[in-house]
Structure 1
């Protein structure tokens, strides 16, 4: 049977990396600021969407993934990698 969740039950595998990268940005970047930066790129997300992505409650589209990688200045692969590696 096909599963559309991560092994730990989360709805995405990038949320932990998004949170880690956001918190590691040079200037302290809040979820609200990340949402604003994504909005400036044309992606319609708000602070609550970022919170749900980081907690694994929300699915992430490929378009959102690509935009987040751009704003966080990493590759899409970096967002999809295991943060424990």
Structure 2
């Protein structure tokens, strides 16, 4: 049987890494600020969506993953590595 969830039951494998990178940014970056940055880059997400992504409760599309990586200035592979 196929499952569209990570081994730990989360809906994505990148959320925890996104949170980790966001919290380590030189300029303090809240979830709201990250959402604003993503909106400026063309992805329609709000603070609640960022929160759900970081908590693993929301799926992340490949398009979103690419833009998130660009905004955070990391490779998409870094976001996917456990």
The ranges of structure 1 where at least 4 consecutive aligned residues each deviate by more than 3 angstroms after the TM superposition are none
- Superposition RMSD in Å: 0.4
Structure 1 residue ranges without an equivalent (≥5): none
| 1:20-51 alpha-carbon deviations (Å, 9 max, x no partner) | 00000000100000000000011100000000
1:1-80 matches, cutoff 5 A: 1-80=1-80
TM-score by length of structure 2 reads 0.99
| 1:34-78 alpha-carbon deviations (Å, 9 max, x no partner) | 000000011100000000000000000000000000000000100
TM-score by length of structure 1 reads 0.95
**What number of residue pairs does the alignment pair up?**
82
